[in-house]
Amino acid sequence: MAIKGDRRVAVVGLLAAGAILVGLPYVANAYVVTLVFLLLMWVTLASSWNLLSGYTGYVSFGHAGFFGVGAYTAAVLITAHRWEWWLGCLAAGLACVVLALILGWPALRLRGPYFAIALLGLSEVGRIVATVWEPVTRGGLGISLPPTGDLLADYYVMLLLAVLATALVYVIATSKTGLRLLAIREDETAAEVVGVPTTRYKLLAFTLSALFPGLAGGLYAWHTSYIDPATVFSVTISVRTIASAMFGGAGTVFGPVLGAVLLNLMAEVLWVRFPYLHPVLFGGLIMLIVLAMPGGVMAMLQKRGLLPRSRQL
């Protein structure tokens, strides 16, 4: 348990960070705001991935699938059916929740490696469906949306998503639900024996974890005004999500937040300065993270006693 003094520091720190994020659009230029917008998107993705894979141990390589479904749902509703952008985004989230409920049932019966590559496969199926179902998705041509015009609104909504995703992880992690999820991760059979309704909890985690990429995907589509199958269903999105969460520390509340910000900031710098070397450097970076700090930054800080080992973190 954190000591009272540390707690106060943490709260003040969080409030300060919140204030900076809220006030940012008024002091920074459009490039910075867009950059932070994207960082917040990665935080949302990483936190929601963490909810499933960090806490239940079911590693999903298919996060991009939900992102893509969300992006396309919103895009199609906004362009072909003239829905309001925020309604489209909500519908995108709902679509992903429904999809997760349908797919989760058979998928969560798979263990370890099977689950990981099954989700990868499903994500790729999403890409192929988007490419082939031309009457609805316009196939490889992609969908162009009307320009957003309101960078501020987009930014604040993404900020809200990031906060909600992380808050959700915090609430669950510090609750009995979180303990049960951890039990599933550590030893699912034992958890069942002890009376944890594993299927229900796994499905819950899976569904909640699918909601956010759906919403974020829809918002991303609206903000960037153009999507195509290769971009929004890209496996790189899944991997970057995982790498972000791992870099910070999967299975912790703030690890993915930290990791998402740091890793994607680094990726942005690399991309700007070495566009051709990007896959080389990014791949190398991931390998380095995996070999040198598999527990992430949080684990490192906790090991050195700089942070308490608490579920609240």
Partner 1 sequence: MVGADAGALALAQVVISGLLLGAVYALLAIGLNLIFGVMRVINIAHGELLMLGSYATFWLFTLWGVNPIVSLVLVLPAMFLLGALLQRTLVDRVVGQPLLISLLLTFGLSSFLIGVALNLWTANYRSVPAFSGSIVVGGLALSISRVIAFVVALAITLAVWYFLRTTRLGKAVRATSQNTEVALVCGIDVARIRLLAFGLGTAMAGAAGSLLAVIYTVYPEMGRTFLMKAFAIIVLGGLGSFGGAFVGALALGVAEALAAFAWNTQIAEAVAYAIFIGVLFVRPSGLFGVRE
Q: Where do contacts with partner 1 occur on this chain (CB under 8 A)?
A: 53, 59, 61, 106-107, 109-114, 116-118, 120-122, 124-125, 128, 131-132, 235-236, 239, 242-243, 246, 250, 276-287, 289-291, 294
Torsion (CA) 222, 67, 234, 276 in degrees, nearest 10: 50
| Identity of the residue, 6 or 134, whose beta carbon is nearer to partner 1 in the bound complex | 134
Give least dist CB 249 to partner 1, A.
12
**Cβ atoms < 10 Å from Cβ of 218:** 32
| Identity of the residue, 294 or 308, whose beta carbon is nearer to partner 1 in the bound complex | 294
| Identity of the residue, 75 or 116, whose beta carbon is nearer to partner 1 in the bound complex | 116
Give least dist CB 217 to partner 1, A.
20
- Residue 252 in tokens: 């912790």
Q: What is each CA distance from 214 to 63, 153, 159, 161, 218, in whole angstroms?
A: 9, 18, 15, 11, 6
| Identity of the residue, 13 or 283, whose beta carbon is nearer to partner 1 in the bound complex | 283
Backbone φ and ψ for 226, nearest 5 degrees, come out as -155, 130
Largest CA distance in the chain: 60
Give least dist CB 113 to partner 1, A.
5
| Identity of the residue, 110 or 164, whose beta carbon is nearer to partner 1 in the bound complex | 110
Give least dist CB 165 to partner 1, A.
20
| Identity of the residue, 136 or 167, whose beta carbon is nearer to partner 1 in the bound complex | 136
**Cβ atoms < 10 Å from Cβ of 283:** 11
Give least dist CB 265 to partner 1, A.
19
Give least dist CB 282 to partner 1, A.
6
Give least dist CB 152 to partner 1, A.
35
Q: Say if residues 69 and 126 touch (Cβ distance below 8 Å).
A: yes
Q: Say if residues 142 and 228 touch (Cβ distance below 8 Å).
A: yes
| Identity of the residue, 160 or 235, whose beta carbon is nearer to partner 1 in the bound complex | 235
- Containing 152, the helix (H) or strand (E) segment is helix 151-173
**Cβ atoms < 10 Å from Cβ of 235:** 16
Residues 6+ apart with CB under 8 A from 148: 85, 154, 222, 223, 225
- Containing 287, the helix (H) or strand (E) segment is helix 278-292
Q: % helix / strand / coil in the chain, to the nearest 5?
A: 80, 0, 20
| Identity of the residue, 22 or 290, whose beta carbon is nearer to partner 1 in the bound complex | 290
Give least dist CB 9 to partner 1, A.
32
